[in-house]
Amino acid sequence: MLREVNHRDEEDTDTADEDDLAIETKWIRVKNKRRKTHQSPPEKQGEVRERSSSRMGVKEKKVYPPPPITISGIKEYPVLLGILKEATDKPCKVTALNSDQWKVNISDGDTYQQVSAKLREKEIEWFSYEDKNTRAIKVVARGLHPTCLKEEIVTDLLNQGLKVLDAVNLKKRVVIEENGTKIKTMKDLPLYMLSFNNDGSN
């Protein structure tokens, strides 16, 4: 008799737990139903697909401004301004740096070429960085033995239709110890730096 009562009590607690669980999880089931009923209509879904397909089109190449030119050895601003006016009619932004140095920012590539040509003509000391719009695209090729001839690598890539410009074997500085003395030397790595033409054809 006692065992039957205990069995019934266990059944009552099980059903009570199930009821409590159903009440606690009711909001989850209602939330999921709402999500299903509030789906966007098929026309809007089609519009989203059209937008995503248009995004997958070919990206336009970003045009970067030319790098600044740093000019040394000119002490007076009017002298520098006269040289710039001889080179181009377009305005250039000039910033004074330390030790008789000037930084010249130029808006477009044609003006950059004109100013740099004029500085070379007048033999004025200047330097600049590589132009991002025209510099070669560089890629590292792994797994090529250091004894491979760079001419063969370039010829093979040209035969595959790639406009490669150059292949350079990368080296690593190592220290070798011989007879108690340390000798610094360069070790050839199985890596080649490949330079490609930056015209969008590769």
Q: What is the DSSP string of the chain?
A: -HHHHHHHHHHHHHHHHHHHHHHHTHHHHHHHHHHHHTPPPHHHHHHHHHHHHHHTSPPPPPPPPPPPEEEES---HHHHHHHHHHH-SS--EEEE-SSSEEEEE-SSHHHHHHHHHHHHHTT--EEEPPPTTTSPEEEEEES--TTS-HHHHHHHHHHTT--EEEEEEEEEEEEEEETTEEEEEEEEEEEEEEEE-SSS--
Give the pLDDT of residue 43: 53
Regarding whether 143 and 186 lie in a shared domain, the answer is yes
Asked if 151 and 173 sit in the same domain, the reply is yes
Domain termination residue (choose one: 128, 150, 178): 128
**Any domain includes 141:** yes
**Residue 92 belongs to some domain of the structure:** yes
Q: 116 and 150 share a domain? A: no
> Is residue 41 a part of any domain in this protein?
no
pLDDT in tens, the chain (202 residues): 444 445 445 555 555 567 777 777 666 665 555 555 455 555 554 454 555 545 556 667 777 888 999 999 899 999 999 999 999 999 899 999 988 899 999 988 889 989 999 999 999 999 998 887 778 889 999 989 999 999 999 999 999 988 899 999 999 999 988 888 888 999 999 999 999 888 766 5
| Residue 26 maps to a domain | no
Q: Does a structural domain hold residue 52?
A: no
144 and 114 both lie in a single domain: no
Q: Residue 13: its pLDDT value, please?
A: 52
Assess if residue 40 is contained within a domain: no
Same domain, 108 and 146: no
Q: What is the extent of the structural domain holding 160?
A: 137-196
pLDDT at 136: 85
Are 124 and 141 in the same domain?
no
Q: Tell me if 148 is assigned to some domain.
A: yes
- The verdict on 192 and 144 lying in the same domain is yes
The count of structural domains within the chain is: 2
Token duo for residue 86 = 């001889």
Q: Would you state the pLDDT for residue 105?
A: 94
